[in-house]
Structure 1
Amino acid sequence: MNARLPDHTVIQAIRPKVLFKAIENRFPGQNVGFTVNIPSPDIGGMTLLESSVLVSLAKLTGASSLFEFGTFMGATTLLLAQNTPVDAQVVTIDLPPDEVSSTHTGDVLKDGDANDDYLRSAFADQGARCLARADAAVHSKVQQILQDSTTLDVREQGFEHQFDFIFIDGGHHFDIVKKDTENAYRMARKNAVVLWHDYASNIHSDVTEFLNGHAQGRRIYHVEHTMIAFELLGDFSTLLSGS
């Protein structure tokens, strides 16, 4: 369920069909499909609509170098690896499971801190189980980093200006989203798409608060009926024109 957004937000809401129309415009005369697994019923997964939005943006931009903040069960990592070119590379980062507490308290459906604790606990217990079950073709495209994303040294890793698709879905506290976003722009190529999950979430309000402030002077879109917001950088900013 999406939270009620403040009237003053500068983030532009668009219908999913705007993206789908852009796909039709880019691939005229083609039936553009995608591979998706049955969504996990667990907390923290994405809906089928959100999955189609992510894949649509990957295909619209022709993404070949992708970075994901927040591996969790590996479902989104798998989705991106399955729906990008065979030579694409997906880098994903999450906390080392052995450094995460496997306990949690509170109402995980109403309290953001409790929800994050639950997600970390599930990751500590099970790891990226969707990714672990994937075939060799997927594993050959994926590089998994086990590290606190806020300690990521972009320059040391050789990640500066290396990615054309960056998905931010790690920790949901304001300072973590801010740090991951700052790193995302350092890692982005001139033409890239940066995406955030949990915008307009009833639980993780820090993501919405951060993005509403961050969006000042930028063209950031929120896809209605999802918790996905995104920004198209460089020449990609024209991809929705005429859709």
Structure 2
Amino acid sequence: MPLIASYAMAVTLVAAWLAWRLLSLRARRKNRSVFGPWPVPTVALGAFDPAFNATEFGPGLDGEVHFISQGDRPAVGGVSDLESWILSVLAKRRTRIFEFGTCTGKTTYHLARNSPADARIVTLTLPPEGHGAYAASDRDDKEHGEIALRESRFTEFLYTGTEAAGKVEQLYGDSKALDDAPHAGSFDLIFVDGSHAHSYVVSDTEKALRMVRPGGIVLWHDYRPKVPGVFRHLNELSKRLPLVHLARTSLVAYRKPG
């Protein structure tokens, strides 16, 4: 009898684990937690910015941009097509833009190509020969540190040699070493998409919040449970700032009052 009871308990535990796993996978696909919404509230794009308001025909002409799709071979470290479109639309009315994490330079190109003629895009990446400067914390998850280093291998970028390149100021170095004081309150739009290790998300976020001007926007990429550094910090940050999760994306946004 004890053997049968032990077997039944083991079967029950396995079944419970499988059910939990299936619910977790389903929740990830739908950008929700297993038992409810994520801590950062989700809003429709049009509720965040009128440029995304739909017409009876779908997105209006305010959403027209120069755009390169992911196609059938997604770029290394790239954002989704919807996320690229959102960034491109927002760039149309911003003249001072900062990007944490250049990677291939595809997002940099979208920001530069769609921004006004007098816009300046400053983008920061760790150069291939500068990996030794990467300052991981003991509490950072190793996986996302390794991803950050793998994606910091470019010395030429998608924007290189294009008409958009003249708007771009390429910085090289570790973002934790960035002196943000000269940039305080000076950027209209900041995109945080550097290392997703927790200590870097915290550091980049603190700098972005100091660098964004009143009325400006900060966007973070990869808000989802499987990216714990981003997910955990933004959930904590949402307790003191009115962050919003943009529907059907992994983007979280904050518009600075003023």
Residue equivalent to 1:149: 175
Instruction: Tell me the amino acid that sits aligned with residue 157 of structure 2.
Output: R
Distance 1:130 1:194, change over 3 A: same
5 Å matches for 1:22-33? 22-23=50-51, 31-32=61-62, 33=64
Cα contact 1:19–1:53 (8 A) shared by 2: no
TM-score (norm 2): 0.74
Residue equivalent to 1:54: 87
Number of matched pairs: 214
TM-score (norm 1): 0.78
Correspondent of 1:138 among 160, 164, 167:
164
Shift in Å, 1:145: 0.5
Shift in Å, 1:120: 2.2
TM-superposition CA deviations, 1:12-32 (whole Å, max 9, x none): 201335457x1166xxxx722
Q: Say whether 1:181 aligns with 2:205.
A: yes
Residue equivalent to 1:99: 130
Instruction: Tell me the amino acid that sits aligned with residue 228 of structure 1.
Output: L
Correspondent of 1:86 among 114, 117, 125:
117
Instruction: Tell me the amino acid that sits aligned with residue 129 of structure 1.
Output: F
Instruction: Tell me the amino acid that sits aligned with residue 232 of structure 1.
Output: R
Secondary structure at the residue paired with 2:159? helix
Q: Say whether 1:164 aligns with 2:197.
A: no
Shift in Å, 1:223: 1.1
Q: Where in structure 2 are there 5+ consecutive unaligned residues?
A: 1-27, 54-59, 133-140
Shift in Å, 1:7: 4.2
Cα contact 1:100–1:121 (8 A) shared by 2: no
Shift in Å, 1:116: 4.4
Distance 1:76 1:189, change over 3 A: same
Distance 1:19 1:208, change over 3 A: same
Q: Aligned equivalents of 1:24 and 1:172: distance in 2?
A: 28
Shift in Å, 1:99: 2.0
Residue equivalent to 1:211: 234
Q: Where in structure 1 are there 5+ consecutive unaligned residues?
A: 102-111, 236-243
Residue equivalent to 1:65: 96
Residue equivalent to 2:77: 44
Shift in Å, 1:123: 3.0
Cα contact 1:19–1:56 (8 A) shared by 2: no
Distance 1:56 1:117, change over 3 A: same
Cα contact 2:148–2:194 (8 A) shared by 1: no
Cα contact 1:201–1:208 (8 A) shared by 2: yes
5 Å matches for 1:2-41? 4-5=32-33, 7=36, 9-19=38-48, 22-23=50-51, 31-32=61-62, 33-39=64-70, 41=74
Residue equivalent to 1:223: 246
Shift in Å, 1:47: 1.1
Distance 1:176 1:118, change over 3 A: closer
Structure ranking higher on relative contact order (CA contacts 8 Å, 6+ apart): 1
Q: Aligned equivalents of 1:227 and 1:46: distance in 2?
A: 9
Question: What value does the CA root-mean-square deviation take over the aligned residues?
Answer: 2.6
Residue equivalent to 2:12: none
Secondary structure at the residue paired with 1:189? strand
